[in-house]
Structure 1
Amino acid sequence: MEMNRRLPTLAEVLFVLISFVFIMFLFVVQFSIPIQLGLLTTWFVIMLVGWKIGYSYKEMQDGLLKGVYDGSEAVLILISVGALIGTWIAGGIVPSIIYYGLTIIQPSIFLVAAFIICAITSIATGTSFGSAGTAGIAMMGIGTSFDLPVALVAGAVISGCYVGDKISPLSDTTVMSASLSKVNLVEHIKSMLTVSGPAFLLTGALFLLTGYFFLDSSGDLSQANATMTALNEHFTISWYMLIPAILVIGLLAMKMPSIPVILFGALLGTIWAYLFQNIALLEAFKILYQGSEIISGVEFIDNLLNRGGIVFMLDVIVLIIFALGVGGLMEKVGILQAICLTMLRWANSAGKTTVTTLLAGFFGNFFGGAAYVSIITASKITEENYDRLNIDRRVLSRNTEAGGTMTTPMVPWSDGGVFMATTLGVTTLAYLPFLWFNFLVILITIIYGFTNTFIWYTKAHGEPKANQLDPEQAGNL
Structure 2
Amino acid sequence: MSEKNKIVRLPNKVEALIPILFLLIVMITNYALGWGMDPHIPVTLACAVAMIIGKLCGYNYKEMLAAGLEAVNQSLEAIIIILLVGCLIGSFTACGTIPAVVYYGLKLFTPDVFLPFVTVLCAVVGVALGSAWTVTATLGIAFMAIGTTMGLNPALIAGAILSGACCGDKFSPLSDSTNLAAGSAQTGLFDHVAAMVTTTFPSVVIATCIYAFFSLSEVQNYDPTLANELSASIIHHYTYMSPILLIPILLIIVVAVIKMPAIPSVVLLSLIGCVFALIFQGAGISDCIEMLHYGYAAESENALFTKLVNRGGMDSMLWTNNLVIVAVAFGGILQKIGSVESLLGGLIKKVKTPFQLVVVTITTSMFCITTMCDQYLGLIIPSSMYKNNFDEMGLGRNMLSRTLEDGGTLWSPLIPWSSCGAYHSAVLGVPTLSYLPFCFMNIINPIYAIVTASWGGNILYADGSRTNMFGKLKKGHGPAGAPEEAHKKAMKALAERRTAGLCKNV
Moved more, 23-32 or 139-148: 139-148
Between the aligned partners of 1:429 and 1:81, the Cα distance in structure 2 is 31
Contact 2:159 2:438 (C-alpha < 8 Å) held by counterparts: yes
Find the counterpart in structure 1 of residue 9 from structure 2.
6
Q: How does 1:209-228 map to 2 (within 5 A)?
A: 209-214=213-218, 216=219, 219-228=222-231
Contact 2:327 2:380 (C-alpha < 8 Å) held by counterparts: no
Give the deviation of 1:378 after TM superposition: 3.4
Moved more, 435-444 or 10-19: 435-444
Find the counterpart in structure 2 of residue 283 from structure 1.
287
Between the aligned partners of 2:262 and 2:354, the Cα distance in structure 1 is 36
Deviations 1:114-147 (A, max 9, x none): 65577789xxxxxx8x654289967975554443
Give the deviation of 1:200 after TM superposition: 4.2
Contact 1:94 1:137 (C-alpha < 8 Å) held by counterparts: no
Give the deviation of 1:318 after TM superposition: 0.9
Give the deviation of 1:433 after TM superposition: 5.8
SS in 2 for 1:292: coil
Find the counterpart in structure 1 of residue 165 from structure 2.
157
CA RMSD of aligned residues (A): 4.5
Contact 2:85 2:266 (C-alpha < 8 Å) held by counterparts: yes
SS in 2 for 1:369: helix
Contact 1:290 1:312 (C-alpha < 8 Å) held by counterparts: yes
Find the counterpart in structure 1 of residue 296 from structure 2.
292
Contact 1:364 1:404 (C-alpha < 8 Å) held by counterparts: no
Alpha carbons of structure 1 residues 379 and 362: separation in structure 2 relative to 1, 3 Å: farther
Equivalent position amino acid for 1:324 in 2:
V
Find the counterpart in structure 2 of residue 69 from structure 1.
73
Deviations 1:276-314 (A, max 9, x none): 223333123201111111122111111222111112121
Give the deviation of 1:249 after TM superposition: 2.7
Equivalent position amino acid for 1:315 in 2:
W
Give the deviation of 1:230 after TM superposition: 1.3
Find the counterpart in structure 2 of residue 242 from structure 1.
246
Between the aligned partners of 1:73 and 1:118, the Cα distance in structure 2 is 28
SS in 2 for 1:263: helix
TM-score scaled by length of structure 2: 0.71
Alpha carbons of structure 1 residues 189 and 401: separation in structure 2 relative to 1, 3 Å: closer
Contact 1:395 1:455 (C-alpha < 8 Å) held by counterparts: no
Between the aligned partners of 1:26 and 1:429, the Cα distance in structure 2 is 18
Match of 2:91 among 82, 87, 90: 87
Structure 1 unaligned blocks of 5 or more? 122-127, 388-392, 467-477
Match of 2:336 among 326, 332, 336: 332
Alpha carbons of structure 1 residues 155 and 315: separation in structure 2 relative to 1, 3 Å: same
Between the aligned partners of 1:363 and 1:334, the Cα distance in structure 2 is 18
Between the aligned partners of 2:265 and 2:166, the Cα distance in structure 1 is 22
Alpha carbons of structure 1 residues 401 and 258: separation in structure 2 relative to 1, 3 Å: closer
Match of 2:443 among 435, 439, 442: 439
TM-score scaled by length of structure 1: 0.75
Between the aligned partners of 1:377 and 1:248, the Cα distance in structure 2 is 32
Match of 2:501 among 448, 459, 463: 463
Contact 1:97 1:138 (C-alpha < 8 Å) held by counterparts: no
Find the counterpart in structure 2 of residue 471 from structure 1.
none
1:307 equivalent to 2:311? Answer: yes
Equivalent position amino acid for 1:133 in 2:
G
Deviations 1:176-213 (A, max 9, x none): 87989xxxx99x969x84x5575344223123334434
Contact 2:93 2:309 (C-alpha < 8 Å) held by counterparts: yes
Structure 2 unaligned blocks of 5 or more? 148-156, 458-469, 473-493
Identity rate of aligned residues, in percent?
Answer: 22
Give the deviation of 1:321 after TM superposition: 1.1
State the number of aligned residues.
Answer: 437
Moved more, 197-206 or 335-344: 197-206
Find the counterpart in structure 1 of residue 277 from structure 2.
273
1:380 equivalent to 2:388? Answer: yes
Between the aligned partners of 1:72 and 1:418, the Cα distance in structure 2 is 23
Q: How does 1:130-279 map to 2 (within 5 A)?
A: 131-133=128-130, 141-142=138-139, 144-146=141-143, 147-148=146-147, 149=157, 152-162=160-170, 193=198, 199-214=203-218, 216=219, 219-235=222-238, 236-279=240-283
Between the aligned partners of 1:91 and 1:313, the Cα distance in structure 2 is 20
Equivalent position amino acid for 1:86 in 2:
G
Deviations 1:255-279 (A, max 9, x none): 1112222222222222322332233
SS in 1 for 2:64: helix
